[in-house]
Structure 1
Amino acid sequence: MPDPKPLDLSRLRAIGWSTWDPIGLREPGADWCDQPFTDEYDSYLIEAASGLGDGWSVEKARDYLLSIASDHMGLPQVSRDTAEATAKAIADYLHE
């Protein structure tokens, strides 16, 4: 089995900030780079990417992101579509 693709944190952040941002830290149309909150979602995006790299389905990665937003962050309304789009974008990136 080949070694997994090294993760590019910048790419994961671009995916996370463009599709996920469950807390809503980034103003619409604003850049996420060089903001004090740039690393806010790093651990969650890395975990989702690592899981997908280890064989998780997109649905399992989606459910992980949903769980983080609802259970860990305590958000009352969590977008399933947004979490799914984020998981799919990460999977697509890993398969490039």
Structure 2
Amino acid sequence: MSTTQIRTALTVRADLRPVERLVLIQLGDFAGPDGVAFPTVGRLAAAANVSDSTVSRVLQKLTELGLIERTASRSTTGAAAPTAYRVIGGRA
């Protein structure tokens, strides 16, 4: 858990919908000391008690708003690896 990431999620943008803020908080909760989180969409959906498609839409919006960074990665064999997420705050 990264308290810095959670604090950012709690204080950023007053106009976020509750589910958007909840996913942002969950990302902070899943983050390690370096502020990077690797939860699956399914894990975020279960934690927020919403559907995978809702989480996917929320992650897209949070990315567009500049509130999170998403980094898709590949393993050394070229297979898809977990996506890394970081709460960055974004524009007010």
Q: Which has the higher strand share?
A: 2
User: Quick one: higher RCO (CA 8 Å, sep 6+), 1 or 2?
Assistant: 1
Indicate whether the TM-score tops 0.5: no
Scaled to the shorter chain, the TM-score interval is 0.3 to 0.5
TM-score normalised per structure 1? 0.36
Could you tell me the TM-score, scaled by structure 2's length?
0.37
